[in-house]
Structure 1
Amino acid sequence: MSKRALKSYLSELGKSELQEQIIELYDKFPAVKTYYDFAFNPKEDKLVQEAKTKISNEYFPLKRKRPKARRSVAQKYIKHFIKLGVDPYLVADVMLYNLEIAQAFASERNVPDAFYKSMLNSFVEMTTFISQNNLLSEYKERLLKIYDRTQSDNWLYMEDFSRALDILD
């Protein structure tokens, strides 16, 4: 169904029919419930703290011995936050946190080459997001600290990390 057809259909419904449909959508689809829960009671700080805890647990687990170190966990939260419309300032904070915790992990462990490539992708996405949302003044210090650590720790793809900073100019 096209957006135009949907608008036409919805304009034909009465207020009570429309309310019934929205309640039915809320009951049937978890994504709709999540959207409305967030729209009426954002609690962004709580969501961000939960995400940081899960990300940290990926690299430094509390309940198991071995870390999983999956970038996908952080990416899932970041995409979810963007979709929900969480304040870009908080989304950027989670992006930076993800890289900071990954760097702490890499300094303690021997990580595979794929780890560095994955973190490069996160770094590029973060710099792009910060640039698009004009957040450089708020996060410049943390961003440069992450970049400097990639250089001082001799991470693979150092030149690509440097190129990613060009997005900010």
Structure 2
Amino acid sequence: MGLPQLNSCCFFFDLKTGTIICGVINSILSFIMLVALIVTAAIFGSLQSNEEIKNDPDAEAYMTGLYVISIILVLMYLVKFLSDLVFVYGVLRENAGVIKAYLIVWLVFFLLSTFLFFLHIADFHAATIVTEIIYTGLNLYALLLANSFYKQLNCREEL
């Protein structure tokens, strides 16, 4: 048993069009997150030079940890943004190999981001939690669309 198969996107787009739309939306959201995380990393980097933080080893270790995590997240979202762009290209060219590779990258990214989210859920505000739930829901729907389109491509190739 696998993922459920969709026949259309939002009841009126075909799978290819819906997958392209979701891929473009994901790439735009990934780019926005990338820019936001770059700004966050720059803020944490500049806060490390604060004299009050330099005098307190605990605060300095905490800020260094936040800075390193933000740099890791920047790199993760850079990879996600680039893979979103390649995915849209793969859907336009109907390349099943690119779509399969994207599904694997998406799964790894999803597991890492979900792990980080639940690891730090106590530090988040309610708005951040709701935003993460909506973002996860949209990504799961995009995954279902991409998987359905991938299966449709494989069925076409078998004929």
Per the TM superposition, whether the score is higher than 0.5 is: no
TM-score, length of structure 2 as denominator length: 0.37
Greater C-alpha radius of gyration: 1
Higher-RCO chain (CA-CA 8 Å, sequence separation at least 6): 2
Greater helix proportion: 2
TM-score, length of structure 1 as denominator length: 0.35
